[in-house]
Structure 1
């Protein structure tokens, strides 16, 4: 039994666990009024995220999904980081799940010669803001997003990560 989660590419067998994890965090922890109907991408992960220069990964611990992260190809060698969620028990220094997931995504970005990663998040996710900033993301205004960025209704805070 490993001490830390294993990060691997998403496959359909994990769909129900991914949906349950994400909805639980959104609805129960942060009281965000979002439903699974509002997120059809969760039911077509392979077709929606795992195309072009995009991908979707999960963190698994003892055969249980404890985290997710995805990159959506938005063209022009740019991606949108989306669906980064970590089970409450697996956050922080003990498991480093968020870092494992982000490192996997950044490695992918470097391998695929992607120039910029953009992300939108909600004002409630304060720990996420600190995490992104600590990992080289810089805060930007909504007007600095590329026009092909998929703006979500709940997102009010935006970041970019540039590779040089």
Structure 2
């Protein structure tokens, strides 16, 4: 699902080999106090989100993807529910800040993150956001 969104929808030249974290989610995300969530509808993955501990009560939000046919918006709420799950979990785990990076192609994602309390920190080819 993630590769399909990256390659077909956003035309990003990225492969599974470029993302070794997806080959071993337990080791990459769940060890060292991180986590990975999957949204499922009728046994089909429709969304993902992950958090990785980077130390000093800081974490990175990664791999937030939702299938386009699930609107990504407020109608169904898959994106919001995934993010709320991650933020609730991060609060319970005492993270102070969550960082994320995204490309300029994901403008709707920029608005989504800002609407959910993230602040843009840097803007070059990639935008970096932070939430306290």
TM-score range, shorter chain: over 0.9
Structure-1 residue corresponding to 2:24: 44
- Structure 2 residue runs of 5 or longer lacking an equivalent are none
Partner of 1:156: 126
Deviation, structure 1 residue 141:
1.8
Kindly state the Cα deviation for residue 52 of structure 1 after the two structures are TM-superposed: 2.0
For structure 1, the 5+ residue unaligned runs are 1-20, 143-154
**Any residues of structure 2 matched to 1:58-69 within 5 Å, and which?**
58-69=38-49
Deviation at residue 93 of structure 1 after TM alignment: 2.1
Instruction: Map 1:1-164 to 2 at 5 A.
Output: 21-90=1-70, 91-141=72-122, 156-162=126-132
For 2:20 and 2:43, the matched residues in 1 are separated by 25
Q: State the number of aligned residues.
A: 130
1:101 Cα offset (Å):
0.2
- TM-score calculated relative to the size of structure 2: 0.95
Q: Report how far residue 31 of structure 1 moved.
A: 0.4
User: Moved runs in structure 1, 4+ residues, more than 4 A?
Assistant: none
Structure with a larger share of its residues in strand: 2
Q: Under a length normalisation based on structure 1, what TM-score does the superposition of the two structures give?
A: 0.77
Q: Secondary structure at the match of 2:3?
A: helix
